[in-house]
Structure 1
Amino acid sequence: MISEAQFNNELELIIANAIREDVGDGDHSSLACIPATAMGKAKLLVKDNGIIAGVDFARMVFKTVDKNLSMKTFIKDGRTVQKGDVVFYVEGPSQSILKAERLVLNAMQRMSAIATKTKKYVDLLEGTKTKLLDTRKTTPGIRALEKWAVKIGGGENHRFALYDMIMLKDNHIDFAGGVTKAITKTKQYLQDTNKDLKIIVEARDFNEIKEILENEGVYRILIDNFNYEDTKKAVAMIGDKCLTESSGGITEASIREYALCGVDYISSGALTHSVNNMDLSLKAVE
């Protein structure tokens, strides 16, 4: 996984690019009618129910936009919120509050939706050994925010990107000439490049599972698009030789049944690619 320093750098890049995109050469709406010396206060108002996420990110945004902005937080990331709750107040130069407003809201609305969905899925896994993973099916440019939201909701992060874990999926296997060739070439590559990366291999059927198990050094087998009964058989077949992960169209209705098959992990792209933003608003306080 990526380091904390790498992750923080991703956040800084997101903020810088978002401000560039949204502000350009100036917030002329505010510049036109609000004096530079004007001070103001606003509250983050919840207009929906769910799990709040992005409070700490909002603090980063406000400090980046203007170090004179200060936040007073009432509800922390990961807490349950209801319509009417006030998450925080932000106070300082009015122009700066308005400059940061849209970035804060866009980020928090999406992060909160992801955290809410993640928490729902995590709750469905309660009492099983299975842990919930996200995927790389994220919005380009803001992956760090979406994966952060998954963690806030109680899930775990899969690999962050292509560079921090090896994942040999169907196309890799086919292009490489088969399971054994793909694994053998991968282990040689890691040795040649002196890289210490975990290897996950996707299996499409029992024959591929058997072949994966005949090769050493695989960290986890991805049991992809198997039904319940075949997943149970696959888990029994793999035993404690390596970890197991189920994926492929697993929904709120089916996730617990797959967990009861005994897999160590379930990965779901829906956590990040199929959510409806939480309704939040930043309102001026008199």
Structure 2
Amino acid sequence: MIDTLEALPPTAGLYRKGLDDFVARVLAEDLGIGGDVTTSSTIGADVRLSAQIRSRQDIVLAGVDLAVAFFMALDPQVRVERLVEDGARVQPDQPIMRLEGNARAMLAAERSALNTLQHLSGIATLTRQYADAVAGTGCTLLDTRKTVPGLRVIEKYAARMGGATNHRMRLDDGILIKDNHLALCDSVEQAVRSAKQSGLEVQVEVDLIEQIEPALRAGADRLLCDNMSPMKLRQAVALVNGRVPIEASGGVRLDTIRAIAESGVDFVSVGRITQSAPAADIGLDYTMASD
């Protein structure tokens, strides 16, 4: 039995308070203090509309329930028929959802809902391309913390819908010793031994084959091979020989990820899937509601 709002399943990764705060903040950004003055000046208060949200290209859908939340925030009585669930592939002109409700509320919520749905579906669509590119290699696609400030939770949700596995959500999720940390430490070994005292899993970024053995001797639980060529990655995989998982990262593109995955690494992380995904082309078409 659900007895608290926070126990409800999350919407696009957001639990109830986070969802309410996000919807309120985005609507406030768009509506300002005076609201949709164009619609309120031209459309009667009791006019009702029917609408369909459709994709105009091949996409992977993400954020449909978050989009619904914007319409419901301005019209709690809006009727919504979800036709496709997040994570599904959607073809051009395929309806995603149908809506019927107050015209003023629907027009006011439209841009916030579409912006969010287009952005998250764009991430999911690009992520699916990368996930498909490594299919069959045994390598897992990871996202990164390269996200729009304030949108990390929902962007990482979209990456999951596209087939990626989430890497760290925050800096307190685990230890990742990077080159900037190593530059301020006496050695790889010293950095790892110090970090191991935390009791957390320790991942170490290496950009040279020579750094691998010192990191492992000190107790590294996982390696991140940064900006290594597929040939160098194969050397790293052979040297590690299954002792710890290996992640490849740095400058990974759609045309290079397959060769990287086939080097034998366990993971490959890609910042582009959240950082560079174009918005999906999704539109909303209205008709007068029939009473």
Task: Judge same fold: TM > 0.5, yes or no.
Answer: yes
Which residue number corresponds to residue 4 of structure 2? none
Matches within 5 A, 1:230-269: 230-269=232-271
Which residue number corresponds to residue 24 of structure 2? 16
Per-residue CA deviation, residues 74-107 of structure 1 (Å, 9 max, x unaligned), is 1221222222111101222212212221111111
Which residue number corresponds to residue 194 of structure 1? none
Does the aligned pair in 2 maintain the 1:14–1:142 contact within 8 Å? no
TM-score by length of 2: 0.89
**Aligned residue among 48, 71, 94 for 2:57:** 48
Per-residue CA deviation, residues 128-160 of structure 1 (Å, 9 max, x unaligned), is 110100111111121122111111111111111
Please state whether the residue corresponding to 2:108 is helix, strand or coil. helix
How far does residue 11 in structure 1 lie from its aligned partner after superposition?
Answer: 3.9
How far does residue 10 in structure 1 lie from its aligned partner after superposition?
Answer: 4.2
Does the aligned pair in 2 maintain the 1:159–1:165 contact within 8 Å? yes
Please state whether the residue corresponding to 2:138 is helix, strand or coil. coil
Paired with 1:214 and 1:146, the residues of 2 have a C-alpha distance of 36
**Aligned residue among 221, 226, 229 for 1:227:** 229
Percent identity between matched residues is 35
Paired with 1:155 and 1:104, the residues of 2 have a C-alpha distance of 24
Paired with 1:180 and 1:150, the residues of 2 have a C-alpha distance of 34
Does the aligned pair in 2 maintain the 1:133–1:157 contact within 8 Å? yes
Paired with 1:102 and 1:70, the residues of 2 have a C-alpha distance of 18
Per-residue CA deviation, residues 188-243 of structure 1 (Å, 9 max, x unaligned), is 3x25xxxxx43221011122111110122x33210111111110111121222211
Paired with 1:277 and 1:170, the residues of 2 have a C-alpha distance of 33
Does the aligned pair in 2 maintain the 1:246–1:265 contact within 8 Å? yes
Paired with 2:286 and 2:221, the residues of 1 have a C-alpha distance of 52
Residue identity opposite 1:14 in structure 2: F
**Aligned residue among 176, 184, 206 for 2:209:** 206
Paired with 2:42 and 2:14, the residues of 1 have a C-alpha distance of 38
Paired with 2:18 and 2:212, the residues of 1 have a C-alpha distance of 36
Paired with 1:219 and 1:284, the residues of 2 have a C-alpha distance of 55
Runs of 5+ consecutive residues of structure 2 not aligned to the other structure: 1-6
Please state whether the residue corresponding to 2:210 is helix, strand or coil. helix
Residue identity opposite 2:173 in structure 1: D
Which residue number corresponds to residue 151 of structure 2? 142
Does the aligned pair in 1 maintain the 2:14–2:154 contact within 8 Å? no
Paired with 2:103 and 2:120, the residues of 1 have a C-alpha distance of 25
Q: What is the alpha-carbon root mean square deviation over aligned residues?
A: 1.9
Runs of 5+ consecutive residues of structure 1 not aligned to the other structure: 192-196
Paired with 1:236 and 1:226, the residues of 2 have a C-alpha distance of 14
How far does residue 7 in structure 1 lie from its aligned partner after superposition?
Answer: 4.0
Q: Does residue 100 of structure 1 match 2:109? A: yes
Please state whether the residue corresponding to 2:117 is helix, strand or coil. helix
Residue identity opposite 1:97 in structure 2: M
Please state whether the residue corresponding to 1:175 is helix, strand or coil. coil
Paired with 1:220 and 1:14, the residues of 2 have a C-alpha distance of 35
Residue identity opposite 1:23 in structure 2: L
How far does residue 59 in structure 1 lie from its aligned partner after superposition?
Answer: 2.2
Residue identity opposite 1:18 in structure 2: V
Residue identity opposite 1:249 in structure 2: G
Q: Does residue 128 of structure 1 match 2:137? A: yes
Which residue number corresponds to residue 281 of structure 1? 283
Paired with 2:166 and 2:253, the residues of 1 have a C-alpha distance of 18
Please state whether the residue corresponding to 1:201 is helix, strand or coil. strand
* Cα 1:198/1:97, change in 2 over 3 Å: farther
Paired with 1:280 and 1:186, the residues of 2 have a C-alpha distance of 46
